[in-house]
Structure 1
Amino acid sequence: MPAPLHHSPIPARTQDSQHRPWPPTTQAQLTLLALLWALLWVLLWTPLSARAQIPVPVDPPPDMATARKMVYGGPVWQDRRVNDFFGGGSRVTVRATVTEVWRQRYKEQSTDQLMVVYQLTPGPREQFQCQACVPALGAALFAADERGRWQLRARGRLLMEGAPGAGAEDLQMVQLTDDQWALRSRRLDVSAGLETRSERLVVDPGVSPTRDAGPRELRVALNEGFKDKAGPLACGSGAAPQATGLSVLSPGTGPRVEVVLRFNEGPCPRPEPRIVRQRLVLRDGQFVPDDEAASAPQP
């Protein structure tokens, strides 16, 4: 019989062979590993941060028809306030024709903003141009969002009286502080030589309570002036010219302005010229007399 085959026993793996230690790591290898991690971090995050610094292009502002639809719903607006302003009463329904008369684009806190002003007339504007015909003024504030799209942020669909005869409005944006602007409106009305002048400021009251609260309401924060004062048109050269002025002062604890009124008192032919200066501060959405200015010593 053939001799049985004998297999050599396979030596069992020792404890040392199962857990062989890694070769020692050198300082050069550690440095190379750190550099690789740093390079990976740069490749992953640099494109994202670079994209975040690229300004988002802002869409063109809404055209006249689009903006008006966002504010009033269309070219005609019906509301109780229209009846109250034009004296329609409760039995007559007055529909106001809405006409854009002015717009200005500017930046507030690095955000593109657009202020648009409207005249409201009880019928077509071209048919409302008599001296005694007084239109209403409305305004709307648009702002570009983070995607560069224009949104309606605030509106005042009927704020105050406009220029007599639906004429050209004297409007401009004034910067109250580094991060706040206001719409300035100067109004002049002359009747039988008597002048009525006023300085008005319209402000955005601030952030809405919730995101879905809709557009805020613009507010007439300042309305100062004089009424029916005799000027050169009434008294000739014996009367001094009349005017109003407004300037923005150092903001301090709140936006401050100074209003100067130059008007005449007394009968023709030589009424007495007067000058009234008022310093006011914006508090809770309204300009009120500045207590600090009143208590300061006068020069």
Structure 2
Amino acid sequence: MESAVPRRRSLRGAAAIFAALLAFSAAGCTGTPKPPASPVPDVHIAAVGDMNDAGNVDPDSPSGRNAAEITRLVENNEIDAFLGLGDFQYSTARCKDYVDYWKTLWGGTLPKLYWVSAPNHDWEPGRNADLDNFMDGRCPGSPEKAAINQERGSISNGEPYSKDFGNWHFAFLSSAQWKYNPKRARELTTWLDQDLAAAKEAGKHLAVVYHEPYFTSNTDQHERAADHKPWVDVMWKYRVRLTLSASQHNYERSCPVNNSDDCVDDGMTAFQVSTGGTSLRSFISSPRYIEKRFSDTHGFLRLTLHGDGSFDWNFVPTTGTSTDSGTRSKP
């Protein structure tokens, strides 16, 4: 009769060989295990709009305090980008105004500045070149360039652009197009569709920056920018995660909202941050999609964007005491 011992030894040997083959395959046939993929680093951003009153150079003004704190973050490399949300200088500024007033307080933010323009104070027909000349270092007495101009060269006021920060993709649009060139604004809807489609296909999380807010409470000066709806429809189509705007001279944050003003799990978190230094305005309506708002505090928004699509926010008060902070989980 055949002994069972050699058979058991044979089975154990076959199992050992099979396990070794599995380990070899898992190692990519090289014999060395693959290292884990490096995590995508967090992205740190500061953002604010509606920044400096006409002729103001006072470092202790609300504008001066915001400028000093954001400049400190830039100099200490604590942020990757400062997003200037439009209305940099009041009233509608020429080169000399940007150089003499805005730059005096805010010039330290230029090395990390990514900007959009606003109607009224950054652009008027016939003189909308002053802001792009300033940002490109072409105003007399100010050769410094904004960060996006250092990277891309001259950008015309109103020209759209996009930029990846880590695993996030940001599209930048000028609301002034809807006021002064609606035909071009409608054309930019196609640009936005194509831009977001490509970024979505590449696996990026999406954000859009523009000056005049769509998701906002009314003030006695401004209602929602209803003409921006074609852009908002495209944002919803690609499930943009967050938007940043300004204009209202206060602070607001929406629920994750869709293009029908409904709070939904996969909507856009819309931040409206126009607390850069100009006088603040009260609210005169109460949209159901606004979760947090105040009009008694100057300051700016800080965002930490994680590679998985989650993000943290914190409003930093610099003149006043109201604040807002929280986390949105990954998709």
Q: TM-score, normalised by structure 2?
A: 0.28
Larger Rg: 1
Relative contact order: is structure 1 or structure 2 higher (C-alpha 8 Å, sep ≥ 6)? Answer: 2
Higher helix share: 2
Higher strand share: 1
